[in-house]
Amino acid sequence: MPGSAGTVRDQIFVSVGSNIAPAHNVRSVLSRLTRSGILREVSPTYWTQPIGIPQAGLFLNLVVRVAWDSDLASLRRQLTRMERALGRTCAQSGWQSRTIDLDIVLDGDVVTTYGDQPWRVPHPDIDQFAHVAVPLADLAPDMVHPAHGTTLAEIAHRFAPHDLRAASEVADAL
């Protein structure tokens, strides 16, 4: 695992999404996370409608739990390398199709900003989108959102069931 001395934190959650060859790219990133030694748990996968890009294909979304023994900025750099290796370019931001999109969404009970963006943890997408909230709650339903004290299951229940569709055929192939 990257980093030198430090306590391993194993309650870090990363959202994963793809709508360009999604099954292939999701399998590829899960393989990379496994080979790097940080992958601990994988949520069920879901098909979701693209947001802000109506002509795009469906997104395949899930959340993974990882262990990391360094700072969040170094994890973000590791995830960015994986995104680039799978064909994501620096220019891909905003609402558009993606080969892969990896976002750190939660780090246990930590509330912080990190990196040069700066990125926020907990990520605001937890409260805004089913494709983040539902698979996150699948992994840690009783975990409490550190910014407002609501359980992840309660957040996930706010979304309509039609906001996503289980992707069991893809999950079986993973």
Contact at 8 Å (CB) between 67 and 170? no
Question: Which residues lie across from 119 on neighbouring strands?
Answer: 114
Residue 91 belongs to some domain of the structure: yes
**Domain, as residue range, for 127:** 9-173
Residue 111, amino acid: V
Residue 102 belongs to some domain of the structure: yes
What is the reported pLDDT for 1?
42
Q: pTM of this prediction?
A: 0.91
User: How many domains does the chain contain in total?
Assistant: 1
Residue 4 belongs to some domain of the structure: no
C-alpha 124 chain-centroid distance:
12
What is the reported pLDDT for 102?
96
* DSSP reduced 3-state for 99: coil
Residue 47 belongs to some domain of the structure: yes
CATH code for position 84: 3.30.70.560
* DSSP reduced 3-state for 166: strand
What is the reported pLDDT for 152?
98
Positions of the chain with pLDDT under 50? 1-4, 92, 173
Distance CA 142, CA 151 (A): 5
CA distances from 46 to 63, 106, 158, 164, 167 (A): 10, 19, 17, 6, 5
Residue 43 belongs to some domain of the structure: yes
Residue 49 belongs to some domain of the structure: yes
- Positive or negative CA dihedral for 144, 150, 151, 152? negative
What is the reported pLDDT for 55?
78
